[in-house]
């Protein structure tokens, strides 16, 4: 899939820069045209001569070529690329990219790039675990960049932990898979629900749940990346959708979410119900704050909310595909299969709160995809963005 693709290989100043040489060789061998952009400190670790010999192109590092005064246009480079890969990406470059500090050719090229960007961090385990690095990586992820997670193992410092740049062979495989799957949902209308619902008790209180929206927003970004027009119906969360092909409809209660879904579903090819919808709402919403000074302890009577997934299951027409989630704490497979059948779903994504790192609020999840014909596919514990890839991949295969 890499044949003829234009790849910018960004190299920064870390020990793992030696692996970039192999990465460059593998990319060229796979038929890609590679332009190396290296930071000034990257050149302390690996010479431009080696890189230009292997890529067959002069290496770009400065805004001007010193002896000719030729201007190296980061804008042109950004437009030329089909993908940009930064490997290794140091904590410093990650910080600059996350915060728009455009003081070198690599970061300006990154900021100008229209193509998908893949970032392979490499650093010592403590730097990797520092809240500053973690926040910057999360920010880059939220911009729609692909993070190639570093592996765990022995590091240059001889300490053992997470921070080793992913192996060049694996990075090439990730790029290859990306180009292979790109556009699998081209032109499809995809409806996704995300986040919690809030059910009002009075003007200051509500019944809610711990959903952060991370799983649903990751699905929306991935579907948009695969060429879909995405309508994201979102409960109250602090996340922002980044991709321009995502239209966000903000709702608060299960009823509002249901109304929005019912109105959007007829024009959708695929609907993915990832929201954690409250099953019950208070029967009465007080128009004033319930006061503590009341003599009696207040009793809040609950009524059933509509089951949105089941409502869409009844509306579903030939050719429409409906996916639900199941968040379970026990008898997981049995409960998920029962929901799949009762709500007339084509696939259900089971996640269990028994699995550490899965479910609400986490950046990771562990799922089992169960299709209506009984097929099951289990995942490892992976970042939610990778889980989203898995789900979208299995949908596009179907």
Q: How far is the CB of 372 from ligand PMT (least distance, A)?
A: 14
Binding of residue 324 to ligand PMT (CB under 6 A): yes
100, 203, 298, 361: which one contacts ligand PMT (CB under 6 A)? Answer: 361
Q: Which candidate, 151, 107, 111, 128, places its Cα nearest to that of 19?
A: 151
Cβ neighbors of 69 (< 8 A, separation 6 or more) are none
Helix (H) or strand (E) holding 147: strand 146-147
Q: How many CA atoms lie within 13 A of 158 on its CB side?
A: 0
Residues 200-219 within binding reach of ligand PMT (CB under 6 A): 211-216
Task: Judge whether 209 counts as a catalytic residue.
Answer: yes
Please say which residue, 60 or 308, places its beta carbon nearer to ligand PMT: 308
Q: Which tokens go with 308?
A: 């949105």
Please say which residue, 141 or 214, places its beta carbon nearer to ligand PMT: 214
224, 327, 347, 390: which one contacts ligand PMT (CB under 6 A)? Answer: 327
Q: Are 337 and 368 in contact (CB under 8 A)?
A: no
Binding of residue 339 to ligand PMT (CB under 6 A): yes
Beta bridge partners of 151: 164
Alpha-carbon gap, residue 165 to 88, rounded angstroms? 6
223, 230, 233, 276: which one contacts ligand PMT (CB under 6 A)? Answer: 276
Binding of residue 31 to ligand PMT (CB under 6 A): no
Binding of residue 235 to ligand PMT (CB under 6 A): no
Q: What stretches of 159-307 show up as alpha helix (H) in DSSP?
A: 168-181, 214-225, 254-264
Helix (H) or strand (E) holding 310: helix 308-315
Binding of residue 277 to ligand PMT (CB under 6 A): yes
Beta bridge partners of 36: 9
Q: Are 363 and 214 in contact (CB under 8 A)?
A: yes
Residue nearest to ligand PMT (CB): 308
Please say which residue, 30 or 353, places its beta carbon nearer to ligand PMT: 353
Catalytic residue among 209, 351, 375, 397: 209
Please say which residue, 127 or 233, places its beta carbon nearer to ligand PMT: 233
Residues designated catalytic: 209
- Binding-site ranges for ligand PMT (CB under 6 A): 195, 211-216, 254, 273-277, 279, 305, 307-309, 324-327, 339, 351, 359-361
């Amino acid at each position: 899939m890499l044949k003829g693709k234009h790849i910018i290989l960004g190299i920064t100043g870390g020990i793992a820069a030696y692996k970039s040489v192999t990465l460059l060789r593998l990319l060229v061998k796979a038929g890609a045209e590679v332009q190396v952009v290296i930071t000034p400190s990257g050149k302390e670790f690996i010479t431009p001569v080696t890189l230009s010999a292997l890529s067959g192109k002069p290496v770009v590092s400065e805004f001007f070529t010193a002896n000719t005064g030729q201007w190296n246009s980061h804008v042109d480079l950004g437009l030329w690329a089909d993908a940009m890969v930064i490997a290794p990406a140091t904590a410093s470059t990650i910080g600059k990219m996350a915060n728009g500090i455009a003081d070198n050719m690599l970061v300006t090229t990154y900021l100008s790039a229209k193509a998908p960007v893949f970032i392979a961090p490499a650093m010592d385990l403590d730097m990797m675990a520092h809240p500053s690095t973690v926040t910057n990586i999360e920010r880059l992820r939220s911009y729609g960049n692909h993070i190639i997670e570093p592996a765990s193992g022995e590091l240059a410092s001889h300490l053992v932990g997470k921070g080793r740049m992913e192996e060049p062979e694996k990075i090439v495989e990730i790029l290859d898979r990306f180009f292979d799957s790109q556009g699998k949902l081209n032109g499809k209308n995809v409806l996704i629900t995300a986040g919690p619902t809030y059910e009002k008790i009075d003007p200051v209180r509500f019944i809610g749940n711990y959903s952060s929206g991370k799983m649903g927003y990751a699905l929306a970004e991935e579907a948009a990346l695969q060429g879909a027009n995405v309508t994201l119906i979102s409960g109250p969360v602090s996340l922002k959708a980044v991709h321009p092909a995502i239209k966000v409809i903000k709702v608060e209660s299960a009823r509002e979410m249901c109304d929005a879904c019912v109105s959007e579903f007829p024009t959708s090819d695929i609907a993915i119900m990832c929201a954690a919808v409250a099953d019950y709402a208070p029967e009465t919403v007080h128009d004033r704050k319930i006061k503590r000074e009341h003599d009696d302890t207040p009793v809040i009577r609950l009524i059933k909310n509509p089951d949105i997934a089941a409502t869409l299951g009844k509306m579903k027409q030939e050719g429409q595909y409906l996916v639900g989630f199941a968040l379970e704490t026990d008898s997981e497979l049995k409960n998920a299969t029962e929901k799949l059948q009762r709500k007339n779903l084509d696939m259900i994504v089971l996640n269990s709160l028994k699995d550490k790192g899965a479910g609400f609020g986490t950046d990771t999840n562990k799922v089992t995809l169960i299709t209506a014909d009984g097929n099951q596919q289990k995942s490892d514990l992976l970042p939610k963005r990778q889980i989203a890839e898995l789900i979208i991949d299995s949908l596009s295969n179907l």
